[in-house]
Structure 1
Amino acid sequence: MEFSKFIAIGLGLGLLAFGNVSAQECCPTDSIYKHCNLQEVVITEKVSGDNALLKFYKSTKTSSTEDVLSRLAAVNLIRRGNYAMEPVIRGFSASQIGLTLDGIKIFGACTDHMDPPTSYVEPSNLKSIQLATSAGASKFGSNIGGSLNLQLAQAQLGTEKTVSGMFTSSYSLASQSTNNVLELNYGAKRFGIRFSGVYRKSGNYLANRQEVPFTQYQKLNFSVNSKYMLSDNSFLSLDVLADDGWNIGYAALPMDVSSAKARIYALSYKVFPKNKAFTYFETKVYGNNIIHSMDDTKRPLTPMHMDMPGWSDTYGAYTETAITLNSKNLLTIRTDGYTNLTRAEMTMYPQNSAPMFMLTWPDVRNTTIGLYLNNDYLLNKKFTINLNGRLDYSSSKITSEIGRTQLEVFNYKVDNARIKLLKNINGGTTYKSGNFHSSINIGYSERPSSTNELYGFYLFNAYDGYDYIGNPNIKDERSFNMELNAGYKTKFTDITVALFNNEIQNYTLGKYHPELSVMTIGANGVKVYEQIAHANLKGFEIGLSTVLLKNLQLISNARYTKGTDNDNNPLPLISPFKLTSSVRYAKSKFSLQAENIWATAQNKVSTMVNEKTTPAYTLFNLRGTYAFKVKQNKLELNAGVENLFDTYYQDHLDWGNIPRPGRNVMMGLSYVF
């Protein structure tokens, strides 16, 4: 299907008004801020208690971050179990996209992507999610597919109540799981501290009234933010986040996770200068330490026991400022840098033989220094022109002799560092007249190759059943992209249409090498990361938000992506068309929300990775709340049913055709004080 046909389909669906929610809560109305680079979804009540998107995206106070992300029109999730789903933006995933936490770079410690940075954040300590697509997403780092920046909630100062908080507890029947959340805020005039804690415990869930093994997990998450006002226009802020998961089952993988730990910390200084030329100035130093341990001791009939721990340590800093050059010109400057060290091991314990050891990530040091510039120019009252770009100096090097020796078996020379200069540039214009707005953006972007792609050593991929070996000689992927947006917004209705096209060069895939022997017992063979000339990802997202009646609101979103290689064969892990619609009735103390999710069958699958087709499915969810006052505080009852008709289904991005949970009855109680 040609791109012109995507435009026709997209516009047609837009006119029918059955499309994608504008996950694009953006574009301030004053001065030159009338264009939008980042799509922000506010998900915390304390930011905006009456925000309509909040009520749809954060359906309950015990939602997971994945529950929130899955409602964004451009985002899908790769699911390997019932824990730590991996975000996909318009068909791009892993190192093709950027995932940051308050601008902090975080890299997982798992060779199988079982610990994306989004898994270490809970909605209780999350202020908002900033979604950026295509080349306009390079603010936080070089990528070709978009970025997600998860902003942490901060302490509230000078509050009406010096001490306030919330406690909520809920129970889900399908997995016999319990979710408990505590939030506390102390807010004096110049000093404040905010604490949030979450404990989740889940057993194996049921699908079609049958238990799905290895879907259990336990998790404990703590987050503390303290803020001190140095003056009336500047403050210091300290963030500390700790996340511990254990006994985590991964039904689609041959191994589970015995322990996943993250320690994230940052100190920042921000000032809003009284000099009107500078809008703000912010600088931050940060660090994070991730430990991830895969384990197969609880798996029956394991041919050979293995331990696979991994470590990732990242330290960095950034400085950012915005300068008003004149009444029509705003310049944003960001400089950043980080260094990351990753190491992963595998120890095999064959029967009647000595243990065997190897490095699957051979002590890899990645260091990047970057500069980002963004200029907004207000041409007139209707047109805004935007130009932004990023330049990264990137160095990657194996620091252990064992690691170098392993790769030399394949005649790779890895004594010297791999040095790359990554370039990203994006330009566009925004038009706004009355209730109508539109934009066009064209860009070029590059992204660094991942540790797996460069230096991975016999990494088993459960999706296609092959061992994978890295290739230090591959080139970095590049993308030429275009995005069109149009929308019409009134007091009661907001309709948006987004169309995108990405041409990727040096697209990285694994190629089968029959001459190589497998390391994993039962593997189909060995693949080495190589590249094809080009690939294409294109599609559309459409959205509708409308007030049907005084207390009745509809929000709906549709998304579709098509991915093909240079021979017009389907790319792997591409979601089919999906439509999500929610109707919410809210009056006084009572609210009721009904949700429908419909996904078509995916029959365009990649034979290169033995991908399986998936059938269509339709789901219905129902949630309700009732709140009442207890003296000066609030008590809220929550109840709901997910998968109301107990549909047996899998999403296309679910590995191993593991079924999703069946009918799930939820009950919860929240106390706000």
Structure 2
Amino acid sequence: MLFTKKPAAAAVALALSSLWQTAIAQSKPATETPPAQLMTEVVINASKVKDVEPNNANLDAASLAPIRASTSDTAALLKDVPGISLYGAGGVSSLPAIHGLADDRLRIKVDGMDLISACANHMNSPLSYIDPTNVGSIKVFAGITPVSVGGDSIGGTIQVNSAEPEFANPGQGTVLKGQAGTFYRSNGNATGINLAATVASENLSVNYTGSTTEAGNYTAAKNFKPAAQSTGTRSFLAGDAVGSSSYKSENQAIAVALRGANNLLELKLGLQHIPYQGFPNQRMDMTGNESEQINLRYAGQYQWGTLEARVYNENTRHKMNFLEDKLTIGSKGMPMDTKGKTTGALLKADIALSARDTLKVGSEYQRQRLDDWWDPVSATPGMMAPNRFWNINDGRRDRFDVFGEWEARWNTQWQSQLGVRSSSMTMNTGNVQGYNNMGGMMGYGDPSNPASIPGAFNAADRKKTGNNIDVTALARYTPDAGSTFEAGFARKTRSPNLYERFAWSTNNAMVMNMVNWFGDGNGYVGNLDLKPEVANTISATANWHDAAQESWGLSITPYYTHVDNYIDAARCPVAAGTPCSAANRDAKTGFVYLQFVNQSARLYGVDVSGYMPLARSSDFGAFTATGMLNYVNGKNNTTGDNLYNIMPLNAKLAVVQRIGNWTNTIEGQFVDAKTSVSQVRNELKTGGYSLLNLRSSYEWKQVRLDIGVENALNKLYASPLGGAYVGQRPMTYGTSVPGMGRSIYTALNVKF
């Protein structure tokens, strides 16, 4: 059942009416804008963007359609964007990386909501809160990111939005429209359905979207066998199944929008229910994720420019334990619970100072609250009893930003952008406690005793405040209709997240293993003394194309980033009776125990992408070649080690045929071996590989059919960013998570 909690559209509209009347009364349009065009963002091919923005990628509904059919993971919609790679995770929860910087180092906004993962393993990542079938457009800012589109990040910004509200044309009356879809993927027997429906008049629009997707464990190509197979308490899975890779996800949303001559007011309510999601590179699995989202925005056009305002709130209830593949026979596992709440607000104005100059000013507020606790498994004192273990107790992270950005169009050839953002950050947390108050390796010490680990943490000054400054500068030169050149500099800052700073326990290996969003199988502990990361980036882009930007194009983007106080990992300081032993400090293999530390790092690389016509005929249609190449190199300047999870040199080449309503694609994906690995983490090397993918689609006026084959040759490979395989017991070091074997898929979408 897709729809379980439905607010009455009429009641919502009535509740908004008084606010709406005020907004209309204060709006004074400079010109009469046709209602059907009001505040509708036009998303076009990246090579055609003419704004004073850095080189970015824009994906609209048409370009996203063929990708949706093959994935239920919204992050995977970014897989063809230059500079993007994906950390492996659960089936709907991959973590995107831009130029080697991932996860919290990116600003990821879903329908304008600046969401934060509420999990020690980052299982409920921001992009997991929107199903691919509900994505209307995506904009990616890589490298030089304007201060007006995000702070508290050093790697870039990803903006994912559902479709804009639709209204009836003047005199059209009430409009009822929608679409329904379904898909099947052979690998993992993945199935799903989605539904969208809209009822609209000229000024009121009510939209519902719902989706559900489910899959079993996927299989790798033939001959996948984990390292060091042992009998253990649970035998390895039969065949080539990849343990803990099953999932089920349900998402629903209802949106009510009101429109005036030059104003738009929209309220969105969202619900997510994930009853389970396995993670083959994590020691835990998701056994429940419930999320409720409220998102209210206003957009208005005035004589002086445009105004945008937004307030939102997201509540998450998250649970972890072992799914069947990881659960020891006869065990109840290890229940872990998280409660997170993120509240935010944005006020932004674009002011037209002159025909040449535009000023963007605004402020942003974000308030995060987090509780992370683990209930005892029995009433008898022991390793996991009788107390409730508090990993994060009343974690608080509050951020208030103000920013200003000046854009100038000096003439038809030169454009520039200069921006500054100031951010005030406050972090704190409450007292913690272990499962018991006994001393020794199996205990956690008396939390009231300053000499014990929890006691020392509770006695420490945990309140941290700071002010961060971001600066960006960009210049663009367009000498003629066939080329564009731009270059820029960015100074960006990110403060530590709550786990990096406040995860406290080193008493037991099991506890440390529970804090890990990197998928490397290691254990982590936080650091109260962490400083914010400060990244200085220079980047340039050269773009050549035909005058109409339709036949051919070539884009090259080199970049260099230096990061002061980069939050990396070091072996945790040696302490008797803990996993932080001398053996752990010196280990060259196996899983290890680490502490977050500030060090220095640098990253550099290049993105290359292009397209060109190959042939055209009346009998066989038009053939176009597309290509993309990405390279990034990351180094820890303090230790000389390689940075973790850096994607090796990789490329994609494809030939696309379009004839009539048919679109057919043959694609080759090529990835070099990963040999530059993080030694402090004992990161696993992976071999190079190449994959063949086939896609085909046919579109009628109201129907779209997609069919395809991923990994058509059933190649056995390990994803370079897939992490360490701990998807089943025994959790043995030495195997990388294998990629999915051959998968045949089909999807059907019908509009009505």
Which TM-score applies when normalising by structure 2?
A: 0.79
Whether 1:203 and 2:216 are equivalent positions in the alignment is: yes
2:533 to 461, 477, 485: 477
RMSD, aligned CA: 2.6
Task: Give yes or no for contact 1:128–1:150 (8 Å, CA) kept in 2.
Answer: yes
User: Higher mean Cα deviation, 362-371 or 411-420?
Assistant: 411-420
Q: Structure 1 residue 433: deviation in Å? A: 1.6
Larger strand percent: 1
For residue 609 of structure 2, the aligned residue among 543, 547, 564 is 543
Post-superposition shift, 1:408?
Answer: 5.3
Q: Which residue of 2 aligns with 1:552?
A: 623
Aligned-partner SS, 2:412: coil
Q: Which amino acid aligns with 2:558?
A: L
Residues 363-442 of structure 1 aligned to structure 2 (within 5 Å):
363-400=394-431, 409-410=455-456, 414-415=460-461, 417-434=463-480, 435-442=482-489
Aligned-pair CA distance for 1:409: 3.8
Contact 2:64-2:77 within 8 A present in 1 as well: no
Q: In 1, distance between residues paired with 2:291 and 2:146?
A: 25
Q: Give CA-to-partner distance per residue, 1:615-653, whole Å, 9 cap, x none.
A: 011111111123346xxxx23332111100000111111
- Segment drifting more, 494-503 vs 345-354: 345-354
Q: Which residue does the alignment assign to 1:44?
A: 61
For the pair 1:501 / 2:527, whether they are aligned, the reply is: no
- 3-state SS in 1 of match to 2:360: strand
Match of 2:254 among 206, 221, 224: 224
Aligned to 1:666: 745
Match of 2:320 in 1: 294
- For residues 458 and 685 of structure 2, the distance between their equivalents in structure 1, rounded to whole angstroms, comes to 37
Contact 2:191/2:214 (<8 A) preserved: yes
CA distance in 2, matches of 1:531, 1:247: 35
SS at match of 2:91: coil
Q: Secondary structure at the match of 1:66?
A: helix
Residue 175 of structure 1 aligns with an amino acid whose one-letter code is G
1:416 CA displacement: 5.5
Distance 1:380 1:150 in 2: 32
Residue 42 of structure 1 and its aligned partner are, at CA, apart by 2.7
Q: 2:347 aligns with which of 315, 319, 326?
A: 319
Give the deviation of 1:415 after TM superposition.
3.9
Which residue, 502, 527, 532 being the options, matches 2:594? 527
| 2:101 counterpart (75, 78, 92) | 92
Alpha-carbon distance, 1:661 to partner: 1.2
Maintained 8 Å contact 1:137/1:147: no
Shift in CA distance, 402/296, structure 1 to aligned 2, threshold 3 Å: same
Question: Deviation per CA, 1:325-382, whole angstroms, max 9, x where unpaired?
Answer: 1111111112111211011112353796444432112221111110121111122221
- For the residue of structure 2 that corresponds to 1:615, the secondary structure is coil
Report the CA distance between 1:135 and its aligned residue: 4.8
Structure index of larger Rg: 2
Distance of aligned partners of 1:40 and 1:226 in 2 relative to their CA distance in 1, 3 Å threshold:
farther
What is residue 73 of structure 1 aligned with on the other side?
82
Q: Which amino acid aligns with 2:703?
A: L
1:389-438 deviations in Å (ceiling 9; x for gaps): 21101111114565996865446754452111011001121101211111
> In the alignment, what sits opposite 2:371?
343
Change in Cα spacing, 1:455 to 1:104, as seen in structure 2 (3 Å) is same
Go from structure 1 to structure 2 and tell me whether the alpha carbon gap of 1:297 and 1:577 turns closer, same or farther (over 3 Å shift).
closer
Measure the CA separation in 2 of the matches of 1:667 and 1:465: 35
Residues in 2 aligned to 1:343 and 1:519: alpha-carbon distance in whole angstroms = 25
Supply the distance in 1 between the matched residues of 2:457 and 2:294 (Cα, whole angstroms).
40
Shift of 1:589: 2.3
Query: Which of 233, 258, 283 pairs up with 2:287?
Result: 258
Classify the secondary structure of the residue corresponding to 2:317: strand
Structure 1 residues 516 and 26, CA gap change in structure 2 (3 angstroms): farther
Deviates more, 1:84-93 or 1:350-359: 350-359
Q: CA 1:65–1:105 in 2, change beyond 3 Å: closer, same or farther? A: same
Letter of the 1:650 counterpart: A
Range with greater deviation from structure 2 (488-497 or 551-560): 551-560
1:133 deviates by 2.6
DSSP 3-state at the match of 2:335: strand
Partner of 2:337: 309
1:246–1:259 Cα contact (<8 Å) kept: yes
Q: Which string of whole-angstrom CA distances, capped at 9 and with x for unpartnered residues, describes residues 16-66 of structure 1?
A: xxxxxx99726654xxx3x32372423324xxxxxxx4466x353865412
Deviates more, 1:151-160 or 1:186-195: 151-160
| Residue pair 2:44, 2:60 contacting (<8 A) in 1 also | no
Counterparts of 2:133 and 2:457, CA distance in 1: 50
Deviation per residue, 1:103-146 (Å, 9 max, x gap): 32211111111111011112332222121133525432221111
Q: Distance in 1 between matches of 2:71 and 2:524?
A: 38
Work out whether 1:166 is the aligned partner of 2:179: yes
Matches within 5 A, 1:75-154: 75-138=84-147, 139-154=149-164
Aligned to 1:7: none
The answer to whether the Cα contact below 8 Å between 2:367 and 2:399 also exists between their aligned partners in 1 is yes
- Residue 632 of structure 2 is matched in structure 1 by 561
Distance 1:519 1:349 in 2: 22
Q: For residue 13 of structure 1, what is the aligned residue in structure 2?
A: none
Assess, with a 3 A threshold, how the Cα gap between structure 1 residues 423 and 223 changes in structure 2: closer, same or farther: same
- Structure 1 pair 259/401, CA: closer, same or farther in 2 (3 Å)? closer
Aligned residue type for 1:25: A
CA distance in 1, matches of 2:65, 2:163: 18
- 1:4 corresponds in structure 2 to none
State the Cα distance separating 1:517 from its structure 2 match: 4.4
Residue 500 (structure 2) aligns with: 453
Partner of 1:575: 647
Displacement, 1:164?
Answer: 1.5
Distance 1:586 1:102, change over 3 A: same
AA partner of residue 449 (structure 1): P
SS in 2 for 1:124: helix
Provide the rounded CA distance (Å) in 2 between the counterparts of 1:81 and 1:324: 45
Distance in 2 separating the partners of 1:152 and 1:670: 17
- Tell me if structure 2 keeps the 8 A contact 1:455–1:472: yes
How far apart, in 2, do the equivalents of 1:240 and 1:199 lie? 17
Q: Name the residue aligned to 1:330.
A: 358
Q: CA deviation at 1:153?
A: 1.6
**Which piece of structure 1 moves more, 457-466 or 595-604?**
457-466
Q: For residues 635 and 444 of structure 1, do their structure 2 counterparts lie closer, same or farther at Cα, with a shift above 3 Å needed?
A: closer
Distance 1:23 1:326 in 2: 26
Range 67-76 or range 493-502, more displaced: 67-76
Contact 2:72 2:132 in 1 (8 A): yes
State the distance in 2 between where 1:515 and 1:563 align: 31
Deviates more, 1:453-462 or 1:185-194: 453-462
Describe the superposition over 1:502-534 as per-residue Cα deviations: whole angstroms up to 9, x where unpaired.
0111122222222154479x99554222222x1
Tell me the distance in 1 between the aligned counterparts of 2:603 and 2:287.
Answer: 37
Residues 278 and 323 in structure 2, CA contact (< 8 A), matched pair in contact too: no
Kept in 2, the 8 Å contact 1:24–1:39? The answer is no
